[in-house]
Structure 1
Amino acid sequence: MTALDLIVFSDLDGTLLDHATYDWSPARPALDRLAALDVPVVLASSKTAAEIAPLRREMGLERWPAIVENGAGLLPAGQGADAPGPEYPRLRAVLKGLPETLRAGFEGFGDWSDAEVARRTGLPPESARLARIRAFSEPGIWGGDDAGRDAFVAALAAQGVSARLGGRYLTLSFGGTKADRMAELATSLGRTRMVALGDAPNDAEMLTTADIGVVIANPHGPGLPELPGEAAGRIRRSTKTGPAGWNEMILPLVSDQADTPAG
């Protein structure tokens, strides 16, 4: 029997990782408290498995799975990642098979070198290398007009590939979002109450899917408007930023849950 029927899903950049330094240590007290209560902490990010695996190990979260590439796939508990997964070559093959008039407008991570990814993203060289070890999805830039992009997206959809336009990238995958993975993992880990933490608009679906959503303050990003359930207290907001805000919100939340009798 678990000490607390809870599962925590957390975004990384700007949420559990500091926006500027990528430090997570201010959240250590909350992470230690969750570990003591045997509460799963599932990292959920746009990062690849190769990027998340060392972070997960450093945080002591290897016993839990992680949601990678914005929900396009999962990194199993205890597993590392140092090579592309089978879905990625299949995705690249679909791209290669498109008519050149459609394919020419799109450039993805698989078309760029590590140095080019570093230049375009601002990532350090080693981080850029890990970002290119993809398993489930292909982020890229559409360089054509809107009509061409619509035709490109339609051609991909006919072959089972979805395209999601984010703040910077058009990301291709065979489907799946962070929110899609949440109930799947909660069920497999035997938990019924879900908490999710994030800082950006692409976290909104995850936050509203959870029983309790936590918006971590991030003055460097576009921010999140008021979300459904916020007026009723189901969505909460931190006053501190990054991992300090994570710690600020999780410690009292866990205490409240621990003090609430099971229904």
Structure 2
Amino acid sequence: MADFCDLLVFTDLDGTLIDHDTYDFSPAFPALSALKNMSAGLVLASSKTAPEISDLRQKLGVEEWPAIVENGAGLLTPFVQQSPDASQYETVRRVLESLPKDLRSLFLGFGDLSVAQVAQLTGLSHAGAARAKERSFSEPGQWSGTAEQRDAFLAALAQQGVTAQQGGRFLTLSLGTNKVDQMRNLIETYRPRHTIALGDAPNDIAMLEFADLGIVVANPAREPLAPLETENTGGIIRTKKPGPTGWNLAVLEAIDRLART
């Protein structure tokens, strides 16, 4: 694989390229095909694990491109299916278990759940839920406390080097690396002329703002993102259609725009 491409696209998955409820991405096929035909790079960037993203990367036909896994806590290299070890995840879990019980009890992580419970919580199949539990870097979970308790929870984690990112579904704990950190490294590696980023959640904002063009994909299942800094200058746009339908239309329009420059 050459270390240069004309266009590099970074995309979130759930609620963006993949439908929030059905996990379908077929409405995005025309844009995916157009990217393939122009040899553009497509980097999946999600809270999903390496096994989950490896499976999706194969289905999308983009195995030759790296993928950002577990909210940027790790990077999956081309054609590799699994992260090397789970030491970072084990560290996050140890820190989590060391918290005061009144705070710890308010966070329900994937490590606290069985495969069947993860499947029920996410809507994934049993096999998909099993892949979602094969974590190497980060711990997603649901927060059930107040905003004040959440602040205390995050402060206690931060004292031990664990940070949190709010995604479309879950609060995810990790040792700090995020999507835009990995994005910067990949841009240095592939040196694209143009970059596009697509997402729908707070943990996508830095990635959207760092790209030449950021695309906020509508997601009726969550509160829309507040206005972002470069929206008034056209550096960030929003889709009207949700999920993969909006993703498809926005990417095709962006490709057409680039062709005219």
- Equivalence for 1:181: 182
Task: Specify the SS of the correspondent of 1:140.
Answer: strand
Unaligned residue ranges in structure 2 (runs of 5+)? none
Tell me if the contact between 2:157 and 2:163 (Cα under 8 Å) persists in the aligned partners: yes
Match of 1:12 in 2: 13
Q: Closer, same or farther in 2 for the Cα pair 1:63/1:3, shift >3 Å? A: closer
Counterpart for residue 39 of structure 1: 40
Quickly say closer, same or farther: Cα 1:69–1:25, change in 2 above 3 A.
Answer: same
Deviation at 1:154, TM superposition (A): 3.3
* C-alpha distance 227-38 of structure 1, shift in aligned 2 (>3 A): same
Whole-Å separation in 2 of the counterparts to 1:147 and 1:252: 43
Q: What does residue 199 of structure 2 align with?
A: 198
Matches within 5 A, 1:134-173: 134-142=135-143, 149-166=150-167, 169-173=170-174
Q: Which amino acid aligns with 1:208?
A: E
**Distance change (3 Å), C-alpha of 1:36 and 1:122:** closer
Query: Which residue is equivalent to 2:24?
Result: 23
C-alpha separation in 2, matches of 1:113 and 1:253: 42
Q: Deviations along 1:167-206, whole A, 9 cap, x unmatched?
A: 6543211002212221111111222432111233432222
User: How many residue pairs align between the two structures?
Assistant: 260
| TM-score, normalised via structure 2 length | 0.86
Cα distance in 2 between the residues matched to 1:247 and 1:165: 25
2 CA distance for matches of 1:3 and 1:242? 29
Partner of 2:222: 221
Alignment CA distance shift 1:227-1:116 (3 Å): same
Aligned partner of 2:58 in structure 1 is 57
Q: CA RMSD in A?
A: 2.7
Deviation at 1:48, TM superposition (A): 1.3
**Cα deviation, residue 61, structure 1:** 0.6
Structure 2 vs 1, CA of residues 238 and 147 (structure 1 numbering), >3 Å: closer, same or farther?
closer
* 1:14 match: secondary structure: coil
Scaled by the length of structure 1, the TM-score of the pair is 0.85
1:152 to partner: Cα distance: 4.2
Structure 2 letter corresponding to 1:110: G
Aligned match of 1:243: 244
Which protein has the larger Cα radius of gyration, Structure 1 or Structure 2?
1
**In structure 1, how many angstroms separate the alpha carbons of the residues matched to 2:144 and 2:126?**
25
Distance 1:152 1:224, change over 3 A: closer
Alignment correspondent of 2:234? 233
Contact 1:4 1:37 in 2 (8 A): no
Once the two structures are superposed, the pairs formed by residues 100-115 of structure 1 within 5 Å of their partners are 103-115=104-116
Task: Give per-residue Cα distances to partners, 1:73-119, cap 9 Å, x unaligned.
Answer: 11111111288633212322333455666645543211221122223
Tell whether the 8 Å contact from 2:168 to 2:222 is kept in structure 1 after alignment.
no
Residue in 1 aligned with 2:94? 93
Q: Structure 1: which 5+ runs fail to align?
A: none
**Aligned counterpart, 1:127:** 128
Q: CA deviation at 1:64?
A: 0.5
Distance 1:199 1:105 in 2: 25
